[in-house]
């Protein structure tokens, strides 16, 4: 059947082409996301990939598997996007009507978006290649995606292709039009950088299972404190080395004392009412936060908060702005029931 679809697609049958590539669309999207760190940029890269594949399909000779060939196209379209420079808004350095406290550090990653778990459920159940060394759970975590963005683009691509997808050095060299020696050297440098940056590796084993009682109760306690803006309760749920981050705002805060200063400075207006919608991102618990607009009678989103857990504590709080909500199937505005209903 695949051979028949390929033959028809190479003859110009667009419907056959769509059927041929459909099984790979979601995993290609995740691949582009890992390289680009942006859900929306990944969407664009996948569209460019499929267009390039359609235009170049007549030259596909089957010397590599179709999946491998599509990954080659997707990798190079993503690298092209990085070279061209995506049209992204400048990093925020101020918050209206709020003066953030002095940060622990300024983020090295200029842009990052979360990835909805509901789309990860659509991934094929195929095992990665024999050379894969990064566990599936780690390979989509926010910490791993963030660390990838610190690598030069080609090192980033090499590490993903080798350590996440398990392609052999010869296959990666063919994808990037380079030598195996160059791939091996780039991989060595990329692994060294990630060892320095991935502070979360040890804590991943301590993270409770998705949907477990510990995860659910920890998230419930944090959400309750967050909605009430109970700063002592929020801080009590943080690990000693916890981080608070807010991409694309570059300021980051580490430790309970810094987190306390941050959440105190971000004190909301008196009488604020908040509503949350639970979701998941990058294999981690998350929630969309909404505040009441009493004039319009609606809830207006103020973003999505993703939690990284370590046991029954929160090791990282990452807040993304409301622009990412559509990728989660969530609206920026929700109807608010009238009082008493």
CA nearest to 211, candidates 116, 283, 293 = 283
pLDDT number for residue 301: 95
Residue 56 has pLDDT above 80, yes or no: yes
Buried b (16+ CB within 10 A) or exposed e, 157-190: bbbbbbbbbbbebebbbbbbeeeeebbeebbeeb
pLDDT number for residue 203: 47
- pLDDT classification of 79: cutoffs 50, 70, 90: very high
> What sign has the CA pseudo-torsion 145, 151, 154, 158?
negative
pLDDT number for residue 49: 98
Model confidence pLDDT, tens digit, residues 325-341 = 999 999 999 998 765 44
Average pLDDT of the segment spanning 208-225: 96
In the chain, what is the greatest distance between 2 CA atoms, to the nearest angstrom? 70
Model confidence pLDDT, tens digit, residues 241-290 = 999 999 988 999 999 999 999 999 988 888 889 999 999 999 999 999 99
Tell the burial category of 106 from Cβ atoms under 10 Å away from its Cβ (0-12, 13-18, 19+): exposed
Report percent pLDDT > 70 for the chain.
Answer: 91
Q: Are strands 284-293 and 274-281 parallel, antiparallel or unpaired?
A: antiparallel
- Pull the structure tokens for residue 281: 């991102």
pLDDT number for residue 223: 98
> What sign has the CA pseudo-torsion 227, 233, 238, 242?
positive
CA nearest to 119, candidates 193, 31, 223 = 31
Model confidence pLDDT, tens digit, residues 280-326 = 999 999 999 999 998 899 999 999 999 999 999 999 999 999 999 99
> How far is the C-alpha of 50 from the C-alpha of 77, rounded, in Å?
10
pLDDT number for residue 108: 86
| Three-state secondary structure of the chain | CHHHHHHHHHCCCHHHHHHHHHHHHHHHHHHHHHHHCCHHHHHHHHHHHHHHHHHHHHHCCCCCCHHHHHHHHHHHHHHHHHHHCCCCCCCCCCECCECCCCCCEECCCCCCCCCEHHHHCCCCCCCCCCCCCCCCCHHHCHHHHHHHCCCCHHHHHHHHHHHHCCCCHHHHHHHHCCCHHHHHHHHHHHHHHHHHHCCCHHHHCCCCCCCCHHHHHHHHHHHHHHHHCCHHHHHHCEEEEEEEEECCEEEEEECHHHHHHHHHHCCCCCCCCEEEEEEEECCEEEEEEEEEECCCCEEEEEEEEEEEEECCEEEEEEEECHHHHHHHCCCCEEECCCCCC
- pLDDT classification of 133: cutoffs 50, 70, 90: confident
Name which residue leads in pLDDT, 1 or 219: 219
pLDDT number for residue 288: 98
Model confidence pLDDT, tens digit, residues 85-95 = 755 555 555 55
Average pLDDT of the segment spanning 5-25: 95
> How far is the C-alpha of 76 from the C-alpha of 78, rounded, in Å?
5
- pLDDT classification of 189: cutoffs 50, 70, 90: very high
Average pLDDT of the segment spanning 164-171: 95
Average pLDDT of the segment spanning 74-93: 77
């Amino acid at each position: 059947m695949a051979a028949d679809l390929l033959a028809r697609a190479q003859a110009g049958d667009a419907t056959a082409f769509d059927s041929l590539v459909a099984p790979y669309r979601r995993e290609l999207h995740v691949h582009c996301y890992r390289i680009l760190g942006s859900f929306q940029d990944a969407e664009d890269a996948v569209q460019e990939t499929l267009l390039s594949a359609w235009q170049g399909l007549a030259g596909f000779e089957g010397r590599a598997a179709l999946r491998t060939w599509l990954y080659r196209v997707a990798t190079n379209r993503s690298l092209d996007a990085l070279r061209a420079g995506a049209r992204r808004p400048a990093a925020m350095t101020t918050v209206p009507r709020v003066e953030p406290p002095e940060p622990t550090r300024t983020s090295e990653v200029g842009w990052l978006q979360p990835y909805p778990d509901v789309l990860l459920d659509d991934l094929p159940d195929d095992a990665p290649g024999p050379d894969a060394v990064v566990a599936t759970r780690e390979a989509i975590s926010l910490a791993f995606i963030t660390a990838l963005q610190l690598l030069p683009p080609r090192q980033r691509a090499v590490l993903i292709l080798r350590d996440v997808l398990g392609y052999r050095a010869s296959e990666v060299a063919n994808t990037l039009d380079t030598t195996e020696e160059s791939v091996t050297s780039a991989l060595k440098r990329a692994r060294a950088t990630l060892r320095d940056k991935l502070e979360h590796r040890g804590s991943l084993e301590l993270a409770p299972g998705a949907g477990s009682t510990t995860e659910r109760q920890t998230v419930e306690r944090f959400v309750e404190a967050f909605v009430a803006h109970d700063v002592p309760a929020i801080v009590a749920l943080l690990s000693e080395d916890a981080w608070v981050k807010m991409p694309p705002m570059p300021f980051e805060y580490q430790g309970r004392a810094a987190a306390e200063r941050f959440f105190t400075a971000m004190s909301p207006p008196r009488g604020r009412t908040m509503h949350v919608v639970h979701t998941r991102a990058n294999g981690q618990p998350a929630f969309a936060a909404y505040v009441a607009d009493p004039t319009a009678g609606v809830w207006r989103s103020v973003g999505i908060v993703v939690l990284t857990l370590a046991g029954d504590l929160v090791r990282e709080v990452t807040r993304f702005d409301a622009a990412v909500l559509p990728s989660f199937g969530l609206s920026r505005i929700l109807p608010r029931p009238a009082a008493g209903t």
